[in-house]
Structure 1
């Protein structure tokens, strides 16, 4: 077992930086969670014996504004939420909508057949069916119990 040198002052510096970010965000009227949500779509991942199902939340986006790439090990998604700018002569507009570019890489729990991916995009929800690679479907792992305990 390797010994790791722990520097408590470094941990305090990290905490201080995080607190500064929280207070800085609060002064701007936003939270860190709000700023992060603008950049990354929410995802839900489910795995069965035959496939991996990925659901991504992309409200207010058109399919043409989404770039989706799938490898055998990950899903890469990027796009841009475009604002519909409207100017008013009287008054101010306050918006909590998030606009701008985003990107996200979602590592997959198992290898998939990226040539057989099925995608459906409806009402701001992208559903991907990612069939598992044949060698992953029937993969059996032998566990050596001699080393346990």
Structure 2
């Protein structure tokens, strides 16, 4: 079969394809920065969901002791913070790859509705922190009549 591209251009396209393959291989090892805070920090992934009666937040915090996690609520703002401590290295252990992140973190989450802070339930199981926050009763909306000036 006869190539439609001159021999020289075909070689350059092959070289370009090989370079692109190398870039994609390196991209597979890259971690998106939105999963980390500042350089060296990590941010746990969260799920925020809502039912008619409550707001539920789940945060992935694998390898953490619940004593190292602080949760606070102020108005509609939920803060989850803590520190995942790095394990001590064994003597004679040579690492070939380190992908797990360690250090302090802070997640600030705006809740979509008012919740009752006295009725929040927090559980930690298999590396997942679950917060169930009952909503406060919705305020009734009052129509305001506009009178003449």
User: Structure 1 length as normaliser, TM-score?
Assistant: 0.65
2:47 paired with 1:32 = no
Counterpart for residue 11 of structure 1: none
CA contact (8 A) 2:41 2:105 kept: yes
Task: Find runs of 4+ consecutive structure 1 residues off by over 3 angstroms.
Answer: 33-38, 90-93, 138-142
Structure 2: distance between partners of 1:141 and 1:84: 57
2:149 paired with 1:133 = no
Q: Cα gap change, 1:87/1:58 in structure 2, threshold over 3 Å: closer, same or farther?
A: same
Counterpart for residue 46 of structure 2: 43
- Give the number of equivalent residue pairs: 113
Structure 2: distance between partners of 1:141 and 1:54: 31
Counterpart for residue 72 of structure 1: 75
- More displaced 10-residue stretch of structure 1: 122-131 or 37-46: 37-46
Q: Cα gap change, 1:30/1:119 in structure 2, threshold over 3 Å: closer, same or farther?
A: closer
User: Structure 2 length as normaliser, TM-score?
Assistant: 0.65
Instruction: Name the Cα RMSD after superposition.
Output: 2.5
CA contact (8 A) 1:55 1:127 kept: yes
**TM-superposed deviation, 1:46:** 1.2
Counterpart for residue 84 of structure 1: 87
Q: Cα gap change, 1:91/1:128 in structure 2, threshold over 3 Å: closer, same or farther?
A: closer
Counterpart for residue 108 of structure 1: 111
Counterpart for residue 60 of structure 2: 57
Alignment of 1:9-28 (within 5 A): none
Give 5+ residue unaligned stretches, structure 2.
1-26, 144-149
From the CA coordinates, give the structure whose radius of gyration is larger: 2
